[in-house]
Amino acid sequence: MQYRQFGATGVTISRLGFGSMRLPTKEVGDARVVDEDLSIAMIQTALDRGVNYVDTALFYCDGESEVVVGKALADRRDEVSLSTKYPVSNDKSLREVLETQLGKLATDHIDFYHLHGIGAWFLTHEKRDAILADAARAKDEGLIRHLSFSFHDKPEVMAQLIDLGVFSSVLCQYNLLDRANEDALANAKAKGLGTVVMGPVGGGRIAGLPPDVARKAEISVAGSVELALRFVFANPNVDCAISGMSTMEQVLENTAIAANTETLTEAESAGVKAMMEENKRLADLYCTGCNYCVPHCPEEINIPHIFQAMNYLRVYGLKEYAFNHYNAIGGKWVKGKKADLCRECGECETHCPQKIEIRRQLKECLEVFGAAA
């Protein structure tokens, strides 16, 4: 495992962090629940292989993630920096939520306590001062070691949040398909913050590149995850990349990649550059596949799947693959409805951290793919 100095915090952090938002699940009766045994084994294997940063949040895995992480760290708490998050929109105060989380995580402190997904709105938020006062008190009492924030707003907003002068580290999106935060990360690093990026493999899209795409980008399929991680690791302004791992194979693969000290090869760099050129065309339709919009759509439109199909067509020119992808919606394997049933209520757009004009984009998708299956 490779390690970095985590900003000015004095903490040494592994380049790979364990993201606990996509823990493996299993069916129990009619319900699907986190597979605790496998999740614990995965987290502990990651620790055995040098990972020392574990990230979770109050609502990950329907609230189960923190409990499972707590069990995984029961005898190994001192080996890791533990990160979790306070959802600022929560009705309860930071203090109340923090106490709940300490209980769920079975620990007496959080190392990096994040304000979850804050943006420009936080600067004038009515509860801002109360939240920061709660955080300062929790810090004084040793319940949290550092206050941090996670971030989905426009890159230029990150500097304004940093200038509040209260944060030790930042967590944001960054990968080879989405380098929008590159300058903001450099600024964060220069200001002494620790920097953690999420989505280093593009929410699985890089890992799932179909062979035609990989060939076009001159990347071997077997190497696409490695390329994506090494691309992120090669940025000196990124201290740690958290990968949401769902299988033991991913833990083994990702930790092996994070142990590699070699820089990108020439061929890999050429592949990255080719992907970057293609990425320019992605600019106005960048959906991370976060799914935040989906539960709010009264028509159950599978928005991220539709946008993914559009990207396969527009960015990679994979016509047949894109149409098949789109037409799979509503079938055996892909839930939800196609774009033709959108009634333009706009509900989805209020929940999209990427601020995508979903209604307009869906109309374009409908024009391309049509209403028919």
Matching residue, tokens 């929940």: 351
Residue number with CB closer to ligand SF4 (87 or 289): 289
**For ligand SF4, which stretch binds (CB under 6 A), given 1-9, 27-35, 293-301, 323-331?**
293-301
> In this chain, which of 289, 330, 336, 370 binds ligand SF4, going by CB under 6 A?
289
Site size with ligand SF4, rule: CB under 6 A: 29
Assess 154 for contact with ligand SF4 (CB under 6 A): no
| DSSP string for residues in 12-48 | EEESEEEE-SS--EEEETTEEEE-HHHHHHHHHHHHH
One residue of 102, 232, 245, 342 binding ligand SF4 per CB under 6 A: 342
Contacts of 19 (CB under 8 A, 6+ apart): 55, 198, 242, 243, 244, 245
Sign (positive/negative) of CA torsion 241, 246, 250, 252?
positive
Q: Which residue of 6, 113, 231, 292 would you call a contact of ligand SF4, by CB under 6 A?
A: 292
Closest separation between CB of residue 293 and ligand SF4, Å? 3
Q: Is 365 in the site for ligand SF4 (CB under 6 A)?
A: no
* Beta bridge pairs of residue 196: 171, 240
Q: Which residue has the tokens 């979770």?
A: 56
177 binds ligand SF4 (CB under 6 A): no
Quick check: 174 and 134 in contact, CB under 8 A?
no
Phi, psi of 18 (to 5 degrees): -90, 115
Per-residue binder mask for ligand SF4 (CB under 6 A), 259-288, x = binder: ----------------------------xx
Mark the segment that binds ligand SF4 (CB under 6 A) among 58-66, 158-166, 222-230, 290-298. 290-298
Tokens of 145: 């070691």
Q: Which is nearer to ligand SF4, 197 or 362 (CB)?
A: 362
Q: Is 311 in the site for ligand SF4 (CB under 6 A)?
A: no
- Residue 144's SS3 state is strand
203 binds ligand SF4 (CB under 6 A): no
CB 239 within 8 A of CB 4: yes
* Contact criterion met (CB below 8 Å) for 170 and 193: yes
Distance, CA of 106 to chain centre = 24
CB of 348 to ligand SF4, least distance (A): 3
What would the two tokens of residue 41 be? 């084994």
356 binds ligand SF4 (CB under 6 A): yes
List of residues contacting ligand SF4 (CB under 6 A)? 287-293, 296-299, 301, 303-304, 307, 342-348, 351-352, 354, 356, 358-359, 362
